[in-house]
Amino acid sequence: MNVELLLTCYFYTAMGLCGFGLLDRFVRLIMVGLPRHTRAAIELVDAPSPPSFGTIAKRLLLGPALHFHYKANRIWTLGCTLYHLAILLTVTGYVVATGILLSKIAGGVAIPDFHRPMPGGNSLAISNLLAFIFGNAEKFPSQFLFGSWAAFFQAIAWFDLPLAVMGNGCLLYTVLRRQVGSIRHRLDDAMIEKQLRGQFSGQRLFVRLMIFSIILAEFIGRMGWMPNIAYYHAVLALSLIAALPFTYLVHIPLSPLAAWLAIWRRRRNAIA
């Protein structure tokens, strides 16, 4: 079985696992997370007026990081900040590349073979499209997708790479040191001498190692050391997508819904 066929089969398998897993998580979140019995909070005499959306968003997004995570474990907080910035840039590149690729297909533009470009060729195989998406920072796909903007996107990709290495390295350090969830600095005056050692997380170790594998594949592809590395890059990315509903990474697709539920509760004074 060649790499292209394997990648195509793996794509449908990963998407199926991810889809069924997310549907299950979504249903459970709706059943458990919907606010109930909150009318009293807004119908009390002299009930406080609901906070503004900006105030709620600040409490929801910045509150935990500033009041707990930064104080509890600064190495983890630094890694989390750098890592999420890198992920934001990387995923933006994937999304832009996907959008451009689909627009070219819709416009009737021939899609060349990722590794064997030939005049007049048009390869719409799933494996070829995935190689363009996940290998968009490499020279040929970048020029095909972004045209005159290729140098800009490649520069952003090189800026993103050290952020990913440093951020993921800090997070991997906390996992290997069994500091997941640890409190290494005092949170307030009541916890001057209180520290929690934290714990080891197999899920987080798996994700961190997978991310480092993707970073390595990305670097090798940009350097041109291995012609088919974009296919393996795609396999690694699809593996994370398949595992997403069954690990803590499920917070990524469900975070908009969870944020909406949290804002809904706070708007109705169901949460102080």
pLDDT attached to residue 19: 92
pLDDT attached to residue 12: 92
Nearest to 157 by CA among 104, 218, 225: 218
CA–CA dist 245, 24 (Å, integer): 9
> End-to-end alpha-carbon separation of the chain, Å?
58
Structure tokens at 126: 């799933």
Whole-Å CA distances, 86 to 80, 125, 140, 225: 10, 29, 23, 23
pLDDT attached to residue 16: 94
Question: One digit per residue, pLDDT tens: the chain, 272 residues?
Answer: 477 788 889 999 999 999 999 898 888 877 765 555 555 455 555 666 767 777 777 777 776 666 666 667 788 888 888 998 999 999 999 999 999 999 999 988 888 888 776 665 667 888 889 989 998 888 888 898 898 888 898 889 899 999 999 999 999 998 888 877 666 666 665 555 666 677 788 899 999 999 999 999 989 988 888 878 888 899 999 999 999 999 888 888 877 877 777 777 777 666 54
Q: Which residues contact 31 (CB under 8 A, 6 or more apart)?
A: none
Residue pair 133/153 in contact by the 8 Å Cβ criterion = no
CA–CA dist 141, 90 (Å, integer): 15
Structure tokens at 224: 């041109």
Residue pair 200/181 in contact by the 8 Å Cβ criterion = no
pLDDT attached to residue 261: 76
This model's pTM is above 0.75: yes
